[in-house]
């Protein structure tokens, strides 16, 4: 059984993945998402990840909410839209912390639930994970969690459990972008 560290961005993206991996591996969920704004939203998203892990007896690491690190990592890219140049920096920050933690704590492999997101491209996220895996000497598990019916399975699990599903990606700019779109639609 591999000692597996799974970076988890939120419960809707993570629930089907955690369910799948929890019996196959010695699984630990890693919550490091300093991109999420505001703090109340961060705590709300985290609460449901904690709940899933407690319900299923899965280990969880609750890492820092370091908004300064996120702001520095994405500096100069504030006006980018979701899917633009800011997002790979945001992925890298979160995956780098995951890879470093995996190395320091003797994990065999690490991964992220980020590829579950409908607007998150595996071909952008996976190369970042592979590069950081090589840097820290821990294998990165390359996959696209959107495949093989996991999105639908996750959607049903979230509905059945009354889990909160956010309507914006996470950062202050993605929140503003959604608000602008909503205004345009009025
Ligand atoms: S839109 Fe999402 S992925 Fe992109 S920078 Fe903001 S929080 Fe990160």
Smallest CA-to-CA distance from 131 within 88, 86, 171 is with 88
pLDDT at 77: 93
pLDDT at 177: 60
Percent of the chain past pLDDT 90, that is, above it, reads 89
pLDDT at 118: 86
d(CA 64, CA 92): 16
d(CA 174, CA 127): 23
Q: Which atom of ligand 1 is nearest to the CA of 90?
A: 8
Written out in words, the top-level CATH class of the domain with range 3-185 is alpha beta
pLDDT at 175: 83
Distance from the alpha carbon of residue 88 to the mean position of ligand 1, in angstroms: 8
pLDDT in tens, 85-131: 999 999 999 999 999 999 999 999 999 999 999 889 999 999 999 99
Site to probe by mutation for ligand 1, drawn from 174, 175, 176, 179 as the one with most ligand atoms within 8 Å of Cβ, is: 174
d(CA 99, CA 111): 9
pLDDT at 184: 53
How crowded is residue 177: how many other Cβ atoms within 10 Å of its Cβ? Answer: 16
pLDDT in tens, 125-145: 999 999 999 999 999 999 999
Q: Which atom of ligand 1 is nearest to the CA of 89?
A: 5
Smallest CA-to-CA distance from 18 within 47, 59, 46 is with 59
Q: H helices within the chain, ranges in order?
A: 11-21, 39-56, 67-73, 86-104, 122-136, 150-161, 172-185
């Amino acid at each position: 059984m591999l000692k597996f560290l799974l970076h988890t961005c939120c419960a809707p993206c993570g629930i089907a993945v955690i369910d799948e991996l929890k019996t196959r591996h010695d699984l630990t969920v890693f919550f490091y998402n300093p991109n999420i704004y505001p703090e109340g939203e961060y705590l709300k998203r985290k609460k449901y990840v904690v709940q899933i892990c407690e319900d299923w007896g899965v280990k969880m690491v609750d890492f820092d909410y370091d908004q300064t690190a996120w702001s520095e990592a994405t500096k100069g890219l504030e006006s980018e839209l979701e899917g633009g140049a800011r997002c790979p920096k945001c992925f890298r920050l979160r995956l780098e912390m995951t890879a470093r933690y995996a190395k320091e704590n003797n994990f065999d492999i690490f991964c992220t639930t980020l590829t579950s997101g409908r607007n998150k491209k595996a071909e952008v996220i996976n190369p970042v994970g592979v590069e950081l895996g090589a840097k820290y000497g821990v294998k990165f598990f390359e996959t696209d969690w959107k495949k093989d019916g996991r999105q639908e399975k996750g959607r049903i699990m979230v509905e059945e459990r009354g889990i909160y599903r956010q309507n914006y990606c996470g950062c202050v700019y993605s929140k503003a972008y959604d608000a602008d779109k909503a205004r345009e639609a009025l």
